[in-house]
Amino acid sequence: MKQSTSSFSIVGSSKAKTLTERIAARIFLVCGVFAILAVVLITAYMIIQGAPALGQVGIGEILLGTVWKPTAADPSFGILYIILTSIIGTALALVIGVPIGLFTAIFLSEVAPKRLVKIVKPIIELLAGIPSVVYGLVGLLVLNPLMYKLEMAVFKGSTTHQWTGGANLLCAVLVLAIMILPTVINISQSALEAVPRDYRMTSLALGATKIQTIFHVTLPAAKSGIATAVVLGVGRAIGEAMAITMVAGNSVNLPLPFNSVRFLTTAMVSEMSYSSGLHRKVLFTIGLVLFAFIMVINLVLSRIMKKGAQDADK
Amino acid sequence: MRKKILAAVMAGMMLFSLAACGSSDEETTKAPETTKATEAAEDDTTEATEATEGDSTEAAGDLSGSISLSGSTSMEVVVTALQEAFMDANPDVTVNAEYVGSGAGIEAVTAKSVDIGNASRALTDEEKSAGVVENVIAIDGIAIVTDPANEASNLTKDQLIDIYTGEITNWSAVGGADMPIVVIGREAGSGTRGAFEEILEIEDMCAYSSELDSTGGVMARVAATPGAIGYVSLDVVDDTVKPLQLDGMDATEENIKAGTYILSRPFVMATNGEISAQSELVQAWFDFIGSEEGQQIITDAGLILPN
């Protein structure tokens, strides 16, 4: 032990020290440049691949068209329903996932006994580590049949409804809601735990109940952290492809709960392999649209974080 | 010391959790690659033959020049596989293939602007009378499958069309139980979907409730969903699904060869005049297709060999 401490001694020749410093700095620089290079290359690639189709087909025709028939003799490339599906699907997943996630976070940080937290917390972290294909499989084997039963009950006797066999928007939303839970829970919990203990003590001392304290003091104090959690949840949901390609049905339809729908991600994944020519270019355009969504989400996120930091400074 | 071990364990855990986060993204990007891998299966077989053929190139490679093919897009997979294997066996020969559609291919061979016209349909009498000879190199067959518990066993061509265009939505209308029909198909661009819609003449009129991006996906979804109907290549049908009769005929190789099962189509490599009247190169091409290796490539592409 003593020997090893001496080898890490800060007392040494200054020459060797500056050399180490320099090499380390270089290595960090190369790593940093690598990440930036990747972002720049991907952005450039997406624009080069995706933009030409916008000109060839027409921006309005692609973004506002509702008919997706890429291989027809007279092809049409409208992705409005696909964009709407991604927006509405993500929004519904948040409506279900955020309250559950937030309340779980409140439970873990404010209410639950320490010993229980020690059991629950690793389980939630495990949820984050499960590959998305597993979520998809469970959705396919468990949720789909349940949804089909629900569909049969809701549309009993209908002759106009297109039967989806359970592979519909509702199923995809439920899978997404479960998938964003770990993100929402972990980040909200950290935000809640960062709220100074004095706030709670003061509130309780003034006569507020525990629940009043949580909703009127702790939650407002942690709101920027919770907003971050929600935005990251949006990012996770909108970028997910594998799980929902297995449960959403993948037909281009208006995003109603019992319709088979196609998301931006699944639109690319499902048709990329055999596509060619303009069809393939439009698939890259879909990627570009998704890319734009993610950029907006990241901008919102950085703004929230900045604001949160300012609030904390006050 | 204990602190160091702790730090190492923590670092390991962080790496693990990072890897876990990353895996979902990898999964999504891998999906199109795996479908490509199945396409590339033929490439592998041709690569394998390249290795064995390597020594015999001098013996077989006395041919030189180029062969041009033009026509059906549906035949692209099998033509590409044949093309690569043929060019490996004859390094001095270039095979050019264009995929412009069956009609255009036959027009080109009639006008003698290409050596071979590819068509994924039988030639019309008009085309034959223009001197074009129909050489069927393979037959593409499609089976209609349902979940194993389905009571319906036979559909007419019109019923099948009505189901896929959304006119019929309940099995009771076609002799089955009172159960909704879940219409399952492949994604736009798939060869099986192209063939299915082309044979039934319902191109881009289908109302699918699920569009899956692989044959395996269709099989799994059909097997698991009560009331589902789907179409797959004939060679993948197994016990997990129930193949339906069409117009009273089973989906078998015999019926397809006899021409009584409607969901099939010939892959034609048309020549202007008999094969024996063609150039030495074109004759060598057809000899290659008739050889054991050529026939293997065709069956590997999931096609049926004509007699």
Q: What is the ipTM of this complex?
A: 0.75
DSSP at A207:
T
Residues of chain A in contact with residue B20, where contact means CB-CB under 8 angstroms, are: 128-131
Cα gap A161→B209, rounded to integer Å = 10
> Which residue in A68, A162, A166 is closest to B207 by CB distance?
A162
Write down all domains in chain A, each with its CATH number in brackets: 60-313 (1.10.3720.10)
Q: Picking from B24-28, B137-141, B275-279, which range would have the lowest pLDDT averaged per residue?
A: B24-28
Residue B298 has a CB neighbour count (10 Å cut-off) of: 20
Q: Tell me the whole-structure pTM to 2 decimals.
A: 0.73
CB contact under 8 A, B210 and A275: no
CB contact under 8 A, B221 and A165: yes
CATH topology of domain B65-138+267-300: D-Maltodextrin-Binding Protein; domain 2 (3.40.190)
* Cα distance between the two ends of chain B: 77
CATH topology of domain B141-264: D-Maltodextrin-Binding Protein; domain 2 (3.40.190)
Q: Picking from A5-14, A37-46, B268-277, which range would have the lowest pLDDT averaged per residue?
A: A5-14
Rounded mean pLDDT, A207-233: 92
Residues of chain A in contact with residue B188, where contact means CB-CB under 8 angstroms, are: 68-71, 271, 275, 279
The 3-state DSSP composition of chain B as helix, strand, coil percent (nearest 5) reads 50, 20, 30
Residues of chain A in contact with residue B187, where contact means CB-CB under 8 angstroms, are: 250, 270-271, 274
Q: State the amino acid at position B218 in one-letter form.
A: V
Write the CA distances from B50 to A262, B37, B85, B86, B281, integer angstroms.
42, 19, 7, 10, 20
Residue B61 has a CB neighbour count (10 Å cut-off) of: 15
Burial profile A48-57: b = 16 or more Cβ within 10 angstroms, e = fewer: ebbeebbeeb
Tell me the pLDDT tens digit for each residue of A129-150.
999 999 998 998 899 989 999 9
Three-state SS sequence of B103-156: HHHHHHHHCCCCCEEEECCCCCHHHHHCCEECCEEEEEEEEEEECCCCCCCEEC
CB contact under 8 A, A163 and B209: yes
Rounded mean pLDDT, A267-290: 87
B238 pLDDT more than 60: yes
Q: List strand residue ranges (DSSP E) for chain A, in order.
A: 68-69, 76-77
